[in-house]
Amino acid sequence: MPGLGTSFGRGGATTAQQDLANSDAILIMGSSMAENHPVGFQWVIKARENGAKIIHVDPRFTRTSAMADIWAPLRPGTDIIFLGGLIHYVLTHDKMFREYVEHYTNATTILRSDFKDTEELGGIFSGWDAEQKKYDFTTWLYEGEQKKKEQPGHSEIDGGHGKDRGGEAGEADIQTDDPTMENPRCVFQVLKKHFARYTPEFVEEQCGTPRDVFLKIAETFANASGRERTGAICYAVGWTQHSKGPQIIRCAAILQLLLGNIGRPGGGILALRGHASIQGSTDIPTLYDILPGYLPMPFFESGSANLGEFIDKHRSQTGWWYNFDKYIVSLLKAWYGDKATRANEFGFGWLPRVTGDHSEFGYWLDMADGKMDGLFVMGQNPAVGAPNGRLERKALAKLKWLVVRDMVETETASFWRNSPEVDRGEIKPKELATEVFLFPAAGQAEKSGTFTNTQRLVQFHNQAIDPPGDARSENWFIYHLGQRLKAKAAADLRPRNAGLNALTWQYATHGDDAEPNPEDILQEINGYTVADRKLVDGFKKLEADGSTACGCWIYSGIFPEPGKNKANMREPHNYLGHGWGYAWPADRRILYNRCSAAPNGEPWSERKKLVWWDKAKQEWTGIDVPDWNLKKTPDYQPAPDAKGDDGIAGDKPFIMHPDGRGWIYVTSGLKDGPLPAHYEPLESPFSNALYPKYDANPAANRKERVDNPYISQTGDSRFPHVLTTYRLTEHHTAGGMSRTLGHLAELQPELFCEVSPEMAAEADLEHGKWATITTPRGIIEARVLVTSRMTPLWVSGRRVHTVGVPYHYGYNGTVTGDVVNDLLAISEEPNVRIMETKALVCDIRAGRRAKGEGALAELNDKMNEAA
């Protein structure tokens, strides 16, 4: 999200899956879309039928590759080199869409003279504090940009989701430009120097991709650019689950801005998210560092002493974040109702302050150290899905109480009686005090509510039958739990319970079980005027004076009047799907679509028109809802002190950014640099050929400790091969929704690893027989699948093998297998704290692993070998 958020202004896919049919070229990388988003992939096939060229870049030749025109292999962890190579190609072959770049991006903006790039400093940007392992980004700001007193987005402890992913550290509406883009300190020239060494030769040498294939891809994709042609990029966790994930996505953003593909039909970046409502679960977040609508949580260290300070810290003077005060006050009114008044700053003081790394890995390590009492796990299975499974499960054993809610007994729920730790004697049930509650949960057919899919589309699913027995929805559980806790708070009026006592907690219910009405909750999310409880029709109606309430400003408009649940609409009337569901914001299906018209408001071409300025009606119109002020003329120039949206000029489409531009260079908001630079994965057989002084991302956090160990150095001979993990079509994440089902279990009954014939020969691995894989964290066994779809690569003059393993298996269910994520380390990428699953190192040998305690002994023996 910060990758897209800092580049464009909103952290979400910029386009719709159906729009891929309009692409002239599609690059799929960090994803095997045909296998993991199969029904969405029909649109890629449609594009191909329409003449588009499909490119797939992946360490493995998968079913996606089989449907592509060009497939290229690459070494896991070298995506920035590959993409940097594409950027280099565009710049050296004059392929950029010049008019678009000049008007719609910050390529023309001039940087400070004390900014130093990684090319000048051997691998770091200016401002690096080697002791603190963090950057002071003052030198990254635009020339003339004033640094704000508070620097949101660069707090040590934040998690990368907040709105501060877009440079509120400065007021980026102040800048100097060179439209010729020749000034040596303009972003364009800095970009050229930054990627100067990402040549096709370098790509071949480091990624292992044959140069001619790389050049064919570069030429094909770069040609899908300009007035008449557009190209799209699709990515998934193959790009995000790295120690530099957001920077990989930043490369794609830079490429698409240079080629002029953002905000245009057939263009854009389609982030392919993996769960039914993972997009929703960040929009309306069960995350520690944000409030609904990407408002940041108050951080104790600064900007939280009072509401005024908090608003000052986070609002920007131009663009739509100018209305930050309206969004936060309306949220507080929704949560705290009548008790939220001007006098008590609408209850701002009742929000819990963030004081540390309260993310999953932050608190899990605290749990492992015995610092936590209790944990709720709802619809997630960290015993299988989280990295370093052994640490994860042993940490559960330190809890006083654990509450799991799911449809089946997941591995997480049964860690105490049936797990590798129980097998190996590390957890002894008769000596384990942890209380465990396992509540049965309702399935999606047994409750109503909304999911938000990968393209920001909110769709309401309707309840068909009642959940069986004592199974209930999470709405029911939280609602009735909340009632019990509010009853306790009503009898205890200490200040700590002020928020709980004020909390508005009355929803209409139905049925014998008193199930809360999901539409009631959705209406609160939509927002209403407090005096008459009348629903509002959009975020423009929100106020900062306490007269409006709104649970999530970016969803406002989804329920604009009683009975009109837009998420439940099922009558699409165009290819973008208007009339079916509701896309945030304001039902705009393709974001930044002002870009689909030239600066003068006319479409770039008839073939690629989407929204345009209607001179007769003096307003914007088109096929999509304009992501834009309908009445703003193309030639509008703001007055020097104009605020909010009035501060954005008529030819600056990226309205969430203070300067209205797409950011090729991110002036602040990303903790590890304004531009992407290649670093090796945290564990790699190779050192960083670009910057030998910095193998891995210097800002990443390994969370290295005795129970989360790493290899001892790059090229550790105990673990000579690259390991990558991925998914299968027939299973879903940690397996609770698929390994328990007969049909899916039958389709993919057993854990296997994929190796090339060359690797099989070298390591004596036989197809169909067993192999044991080890890393410093764990040891697993899997069946061997020898296939030429895996290919050894030549990197830096030597051959390297990759072992591939799908990660779905666990010890419960109809089909079982070792937990692959036991091999991974817990690590935190600097911006979003995501772990690295896609590129690490391992050893592999033929045969099964030792059982029980023997497995740990075998792992210890491996670790005691000479590195």
Partner 1 sequence: MFEGGLLKGWPVLKQVRSADWHATGETAWSPRTESLLPRHHDAEVTSSICPYCGVGCGQLIYHKDNELISIEGDPNSPISRGHLCPKGANTHELHTHAGRLKTVKYRAPYATEWQTIPLERAMDMVAERMWETRDRTFVEEQDGRSVMHTLGMAHLGGATLDNEENYLIKKLFAGGLGMNCISNQARI
Write out the two tokens for 506: 């009355």
Write down the least CB distance from residue 563 to partner 1, Å: 17
Write down the least CB distance from residue 41 to partner 1, Å: 9
- Closest CB to partner 1 among 192 and 461? 461
- Closest CB to partner 1 among 325 and 829? 829
Write down the least CB distance from residue 734 to partner 1, Å: 9
| Three-class SS state of 680 | strand
- Longest CA–CA span in the chain (Å) reads 80
DSSP string, 56-111: EE-SB--HHHHTSSEEE---TT-HHHHHHHHHHHHHHTT-S-HHHHHHHBGGGBBB
Write down the least CB distance from residue 366 to partner 1, Å: 7
Bridge partners (DSSP) listed for residue 782: 771
Specify the residue for token string 């029904």: 39
Write down the least CB distance from residue 544 to partner 1, Å: 19
Residue 304 CA to residue 390 CA, distance in Å, equals: 38
- Closest CB to partner 1 among 152 and 285? 285
Write down the least CB distance from residue 22 to partner 1, Å: 14
Using alpha carbons only, how large is the chain's radius of gyration in Å? 26
Residue 696 DSSP one-character state: B
Write out the two tokens for 240: 């995000």
- Closest CB to partner 1 among 573 and 798? 573
- Closest CB to partner 1 among 209 and 388? 388
CB-based burial, 295-322: b 16+ in 10 Å, e otherwise: bbbbbeeebbeebebbbebbbbbbbbbb
Specify the residue for token string 């002002």: 594
Write down the least CB distance from residue 258 to partner 1, Å: 23
User: Which residues make Cβ contacts (< 8 Å) with residue 767, sequence separation at least 6?
Assistant: 760, 784, 785, 786
Residue 558 CA to residue 539 CA, distance in Å, equals: 10
Comparing CA positions, the residue from 457, 433, 310, 555 lying closest to residue 13 is 457
Comparing CA positions, the residue from 83, 67, 28, 69 lying closest to residue 218 is 83
8 A C-beta contact, residue 729 and residue 36: yes
Write down the least CB distance from residue 133 to partner 1, Å: 20
Half-sphere exposure of 172 (CA within 13 A, CB side): 34
Instruction: Give residue 673's identity as a one-letter amino acid code.
Output: G
- Closest CB to partner 1 among 481 and 493? 481
DSSP strand E in 3-47: where? 25-29
Write down the least CB distance from residue 60 to partner 1, Å: 19
Residue 259 CA to residue 233 CA, distance in Å, equals: 12
Write down the least CB distance from residue 466 to partner 1, Å: 6
User: Which residues make Cβ contacts (< 8 Å) with residue 74, sequence separation at least 6?
Assistant: 57, 58, 59, 82, 207, 208, 209, 793
Bridge partners (DSSP) listed for residue 783: 752, 770
- Closest CB to partner 1 among 4 and 169? 4
- Provide the total of helices (H) and of strands (E) in the chain, helices listed first: 25, 30
CA distances from 115 to 137, 156, 568 (A): 9, 22, 50
Write down the least CB distance from residue 673 to partner 1, Å: 16
- Closest CB to partner 1 among 146 and 355? 355
Write down the least CB distance from residue 809 to partner 1, Å: 16
| Three-class SS state of 207 | helix
- Closest CB to partner 1 among 290 and 790? 290
Q: Tell me the backbone φ, ψ of residue 692, rounded to 5 degrees.
A: -55, -25
- Closest CB to partner 1 among 231 and 292? 292
| Three-class SS state of 232 | strand
- Closest CB to partner 1 among 640 and 742? 742
Write down the least CB distance from residue 417 to partner 1, Å: 7
- Closest CB to partner 1 among 300 and 770? 300
- Closest CB to partner 1 among 131 and 470? 470
